[in-house]
Structure 1
Amino acid sequence: MTLSAHDALIHLMLVAASSDTTMTDKELTRIQALIERMPVFEGFDRSRFAAVANECADKLNQPNGLDHVVDDAIAALPAKLQDTAYAVSVEVTAVDLFLEQEELRFLELLRDKLDLDRLTTAAIEVAARARNRRLPG
């Protein structure tokens, strides 16, 4: 079954959030906030979120699940949304301002599979860190 672009973006965010084996409340809240506020998600029926998440989890639990989820998601996205896919994935992993090795490896995998240049991905990463920074103390 072919994913919609909305479902593909959500799958990538969910994989990004769970890439370190734990999806935190902050990450889940960020995913839901992105779905609510980003123009790319206009028209997405939010009541489908749980079903989309379950479909992603089912795929991940199959042999070579990570590769299948990422490849299926990328195939479902128009080329003009590849930078958006990377940006939402980075946004989810950057929510706590500390990336585990597994999260870094997932972002590297995604970067390699997307048709994006290194300058674009670096700019996305720096912007996410800047948006998530907090005042000291």
Structure 2
Amino acid sequence: MLATIAAFALLSTGAAAQESEPSQQIIAPEAAEDDIVVTLLGTGTPDPRIDRFGASILVNAAGQNLLFDAGRGAVIRLEQIGVSPGAIDQLFVTHYHSDHINGLADLWLTSRLPPHGNRQTPFPMTGPTTARCWLARI
């Protein structure tokens, strides 16, 4: 099922959501229990641009908050839509380009801080096969 959700998230980015101007507040869409809601948190590049944060997609499906990539600004965008970083059930890293992982440390650390989640368990992350080796260092 997760593979289906991942494929849907990556293919349906056009109509699912849009980034807002920095001064606008993002409001999370309402979803029924069986809906899949895809929210683009960032679609930018490695360039530090306030109007396009790094790559990050939130998928709400089956009561789960699935985050695909954690680019620069992912935590800020999560807070703007009312999703606590500690409420992320699984992080999927597609690859290790900087614009997809620059926000990883912020997401990991902030999810452990009240009121953003107070996570006491390891942060669930899935990535390319080298992820285990890389994560063992942090």
TM-score bucket (shorter structure): 0.3 to 0.5
Normalized against structure 2, the TM-score is what?
A: 0.35
Q: Which has the higher contact order (CA 8 A, sep 6+)?
A: 1
Return the structure number with greater strand share. 2
Q: Point out the structure with the larger helix share.
A: 1
